[in-house]
């Protein structure tokens, strides 16, 4: 049974004569009012279905003309009334929602920040969606609650009542999406911790992975059906609450039609999807219990405490939406609804869910930081199993083993440890001094010293170099160098090959035998220059095959690539 406050039509008061009426001390032509089909209502408005004017002081018109024009009139659809209890309570709720909006933004910054590289299976937006929906819920609540001010201030129902309920329904959808994203992301976070020690312990395309891929689509399909049944409609019928007859004929049938009654069932399906997702996460990422009773106890025990509070509150939200679709006097669509039922069932559950979500966000750490802490704990456990004991950080500082953060200081410290100075100047100077001493020794022992460093290298002809009277090359013997330097090994190999291609003379062979072994030289692989033979003059050089210069002069002896 629908309860409606009686608002009967009023008869025009009597005036000075039969064609005159007196309304709040102002005389009007009754014939003109009846001609234009004006009716006086108990809310002190005068309307003919197209035009509406306020008749109580100080908004009473002064006169009405014969063509139906009112002078000094006030339109009915203006905010002329003082705010009522609906607006006062709504402003209080709006202040709390505004605080939740600020705290949700803080939590979005905290939990949305990345401290580890992005993984393909766990995108950063997945953990941010619950805070995006929190911001959406706060925004919708603020818009809807502040429109309650105009709902009270409008004497005749108009667009504010529509805006208030439009954003209230969006608030309910966003709250359910917030609960879903919190539940879904908790399961994703449990999976991330489960596979972090071993990324290959679970497959991506097994039954579990496909279930987690498809269940979000199922949830948002139910939510979209709830949105489709409520939002796309003719909201103008909700405004028709300007008289009791109009409310019964127009507003109540529109507010309790089949679409409003079917929408809560799809919202309940969304709630059931959250329960199934929570059960799936506990079943796969928490220890399993045997027996139905133990499984129920384990389900409640493994469930985070915030879900123990959020899920019943979200179910109460669904229940009130269904109640509003059947009971007009409890519906927020009613301008004169029961305020206790509207705020307690329509706004309080959503606000409490937001508060719980914000508090849990401050208590929980950033997931990347939590994962880094778990990795450190696993590393310490492995070190203890292997018997590795790491010294604390203060140990190095106490012993002076503190590395500077400046790379230039580290390089300079390494340079000082190896001798300082320029990188190659020390070795170059040592090599020059050693070669100068070897040159002086060779000149002192030779009667015709050579002042040219590469005097031992002569230009020969390939035919002349293969003379028959030349002694046979010495047999090949492996290099006596046994070090690890590949460059030194290559130099010894090239010396052996040069000895085979260019056989030395008897005198040079004796000189080479008397010289120290190449592996005894430590000057970057440089052997002493050959000062035994003299460099021939330019006139004695010839490229002719008949020349005997190659038989008289020593052959070319290549000891190192640096001698060429």
| Residues 20-35: tens digit of each pLDDT | 888 888 888 888 888 8
Burial profile 431-443: b = 16 or more Cβ within 10 angstroms, e = fewer: beeebeebbeebe
User: For 118-128, what is the mean pLDDT?
Assistant: 87
Q: What is the 8-class DSSP label of residue 346?
A: I
Bigger pLDDT: 63 vs 98: 98
Render pLDDT for 438-469 as a digit per residue (tens, 0 to 9): 877 777 765 554 444 444 444 444 444 444 44
3-state secondary structure of 22: strand
Q: State the residue for tokens 């039969």.
A: 18
User: For 204-215, what is the mean pLDDT?
Assistant: 88
Give me the half-sphere count of Cα atoms (radius 13 Å) on the Cβ side of residue 342. Answer: 25
Who contacts 437 (Cβ-Cβ below 8 Å, separation ≥6)? Answer: none
Q: What is the 8-class DSSP label of residue 330?
A: G
Q: How many Å apart are CA 76 and CA 190, to the nearest integer?
A: 59
Give the tokens for residue 467: 């003379």
Render pLDDT for 285-308 as a digit per residue (tens, 0 to 9): 877 776 666 667 767 778 889 999
3-state secondary structure of 400: coil
Note the pLDDT of residue 123: 87
Q: What are phi and psi of 154, to 5 degrees?
A: -80, 120
3-state secondary structure of 23: strand
Burial class (CB in 10 A: 0-12, 13-18, 19+), 409: exposed
pLDDT at 262 over 70: yes
pLDDT at 179 over 90: yes
* Closest by CA position to 150, among listed 68, 83, 232: 83
What are the distances in angstroms from CA 465 to CA 221, 457, 540, 555? 94, 13, 16, 8
For the chain, how are helix, strand and coil distributed in percent, rounded to 5? Answer: 60, 5, 35
Note the pLDDT of residue 451: 45
In this structure, the number of other CB atoms found within 10 A of the CB of residue 159 comes to 17
Average pLDDT, the chain: 79
Q: Give me the DSSP letters along 109-138.
A: HHHH---SPPPSSS-HHHHHHHHHHHHHHH
State the helix-helix crossing angle for 258-285 and 305-326, rounded to 10 degrees. 170
Note the pLDDT of residue 91: 94
Note the pLDDT of residue 341: 92
Give the tokens for residue 159: 């667009």
The percent of residues in the chain predicted with pLDDT above 70, rounded, is 75
Q: How many Å apart are CA 503 and CA 514, to the nearest integer?
A: 17
The percent of residues in the chain predicted with pLDDT above 90, rounded, is 37
Note the pLDDT of residue 468: 44
Q: How many Å apart are CA 161 and CA 251, to the nearest integer?
A: 12
Q: How many Å apart are CA 34 and CA 544, to the nearest integer?
A: 140
Render pLDDT for 325-371 as a digit per residue (tens, 0 to 9): 999 999 999 999 999 999 999 999 999 999 999 999 999 999 999 99
Among the ranges given (56-65, 227-236, 268-277, 518-527), the one the predictor scored with the smallest mean pLDDT: 518-527
Q: State the residue for tokens 């009686």.
A: 6
Give the tokens for residue 240: 């028709």
Strand ranges, E, within 11-130: 20-23, 26-29, 39-41, 45-47, 52-54, 63-64, 70-71
């Amino acid at each position: 049974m629908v309860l409606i406050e009686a608002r009967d039509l009023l008869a025009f008061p009597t005036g000075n004569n039969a064609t005159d009426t007196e309304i709040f001390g102002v005389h009007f032509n009754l014939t003109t009012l009846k001609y234009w089909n004006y009716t006086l209502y108990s809310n002190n408005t005068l309307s003919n279905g197209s035009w509406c004017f306020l008749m109580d002081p100080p908004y009473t018109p002064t006169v009405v003309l014969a063509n139906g024009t009112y002078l000094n009139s006030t339109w009915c659809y203006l905010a002329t009334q003082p705010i009522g209890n609906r607006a006062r309570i709504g402003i209080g709720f709006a202040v709390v929602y505004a605080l939740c909006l600020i705290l949700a933004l803080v939590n979005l910054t905290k939990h949305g920040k990345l401290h580890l590289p992005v993984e393909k299976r766990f995108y950063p937006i997945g953990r941010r969606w619950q805070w995006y929906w929190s911001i959406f819920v706060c925004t919708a609540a603020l818009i809807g609650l502040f429109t309650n001010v105009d709902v009270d201030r409008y004497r005749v129902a108009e667009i504010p009542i529509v805006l208030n309920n439009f954003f209230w329904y969006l608030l309910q959808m966003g709250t359910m999406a917030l609960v879903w994203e919190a539940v879904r992301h908790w399961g994703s976070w449990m999976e991330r911790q489960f596979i972090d020690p071993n990324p290959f312990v679970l497959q991506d395309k097994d039954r579990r992975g496909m279930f987690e891929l498809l269940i979000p689509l199922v949830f948002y399909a139910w939510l979209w059906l709830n949105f489709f049944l409520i939002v796309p409609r003719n909201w103008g019928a909700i405004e028709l609450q300007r008289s009791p007859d109009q409310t019964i004929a127009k507003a109540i049938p529109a507010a309790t039609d089949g679409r409003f009654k079917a929408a809560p069932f799809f919202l309940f399906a969304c709630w059931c999807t959250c329960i199934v997702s929570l059960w799936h996460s506990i079943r796969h990422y928490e220890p399993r219990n045997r027996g139905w009773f133990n499984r129920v106890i384990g389900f409640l025990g493994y469930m985070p405490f915030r879900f123990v509070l959020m899920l019943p509150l979200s179910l109460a939200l669904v229940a009130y939406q269904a109640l509003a679709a059947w009971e007009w006097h409890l519906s927020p669509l009613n301008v004169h609804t029961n305020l206790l039922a509207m705020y307690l069932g329509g706004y309080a559950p959503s606000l409490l869910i937001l508060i719980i979500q914000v508090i849990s966000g401050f208590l929980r750490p950033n997931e990347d930081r939590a994962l880094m802490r778990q990795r450190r704990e696993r590393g310490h456990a492995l070190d203890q199993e292997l018997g590795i004991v790491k010294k604390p950080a203060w140990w190095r500082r106490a012993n002076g083993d503190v590395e500077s953060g400046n790379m230039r200081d580290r390089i300079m410290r390494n340079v000082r440890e190896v001798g300082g100075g320029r990188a190659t100047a020390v070795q170059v100077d040592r090599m020059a001094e050693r070669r100068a001493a070897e040159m002086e020794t060779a000149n002192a022992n030779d009667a015709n010293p050579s002042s040219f460093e590469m005097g031992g290298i002569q230009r020969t002809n390939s035919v002349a170099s293969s003379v028959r009277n030349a002694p046979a090359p010495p047999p090949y013997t492996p290099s006596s160098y046994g070090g690890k330097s590949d460059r030194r090994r290559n130099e010894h190999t090239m010396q052996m090959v040069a000895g085979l291609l260019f056989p030395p003379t008897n005198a040079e062979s004796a000189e080479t035998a008397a010289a120290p072994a190449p592996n005894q030289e430590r000057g970057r692989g440089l052997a002493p220059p050959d000062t035994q033979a003299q460099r021939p003059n330019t006139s004695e050089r010839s490229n002719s095959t008949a020349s005997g210069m190659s038989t008289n002069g020593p052959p070319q002896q290549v000891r190192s690539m640096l001698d060429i």
